[in-house]
Amino acid sequence: MEIKKCPECGAEVEGKTCSNCGYSFKKKYRKKIIIVLAVLVLLVGGGSLGYVKYQQYTKEQEKIAAEKAKEAEEEKKAKIDELLKKVEELYKDQNFDQVSNIYDELEKLGYELGSKRDTLEYDKTVAKDIAEFHSTLKKVDSNLESGSYLSIREELDKLKKPMKTIKNLETNPYSKLSNYALNIRSNLMFDLLYDQYVYSAETNVDHGLVQNGYAMIVTTYTDELLKIDCPID
């Protein structure tokens, strides 16, 4: 049997209890076990707490990342909206080269242009004709309403080429300019003005007694057509 030295009295002990002072070696082992168990509890508890802290940190980082991604997406959307609004302004001024540059920026932002580039090329070819029609229509309407004309026939002749161009214009379903032309030529007033006055010389619109009456009739047609919004100036 193993001989141990009693930590209390120093006597040599063969068993688990000192015969001299009664010290029990079982207490020492029990104390060690308690210490070991306490350490294990601390380790397990600390590990669990650390895991919980790690989970909380991970969730916070994910939340921050999600908020940043949302902010970035909102900023991108706002930028896209701003550029699209700028396109409309440039269209008004027929600044198509700048529109093309903005389309490049939109593509970099991930915006799907679809048929916009093809439509832009179409619009370049028809913009001048549509602008000429719209400006001539406004001018004739203004002259007739204000009485700033010598001959109604001369005013109507100004509309011959622009109206014929609009009537025969090739269309594009994605183009606002094309839709404007379609709305114009599908309007009853366009046909009446075109057939009865612009391309008809049968009626003497400049007869002294009825000239003002014809001016009023023609401006009724032109006023109605001018209510249709033109995408360009």
pLDDT in tens, 15-29: 667 777 766 756 555
Q: What is the number of other CB atoms lying within 10 angstroms of the CB of residue 80?
A: 15
In angstroms, the CA 225 to CA 183 distance is 9
Q: What is the pLDDT of residue 142?
A: 97
Quick one: pLDDT band at residue 53, thresholds 50, 70, 90? Answer: confident
Residue 67: is its pLDDT beyond 60? yes
Counting Cα atoms < 13 Å in the Cβ hemisphere of 186 gives 8
Task: Please name the residue that has the structure tokens 């669990």.
Answer: 48
Which residues touch 33 (CB under 8 Å, ≥6 apart)? none
Q: What is the pLDDT of residue 51?
A: 67
Q: What is the pLDDT of residue 33?
A: 64
pLDDT digits (tens, 9 = 90+) for 170-225: 999 999 999 999 999 999 999 999 999 999 877 789 888 889 999 999 999 999 99
In angstroms, the CA 23 to CA 56 distance is 51
Q: CB–CB of 103/117 below 8 Å?
A: yes
Assigned token pair, 83 = 């550029």
Q: CB–CB of 223/141 below 8 Å?
A: yes
Average pLDDT value for the chain:
87
pLDDT above 70 covers a percentage of the chain that reads: 82
Q: What is the pLDDT of residue 233?
A: 74
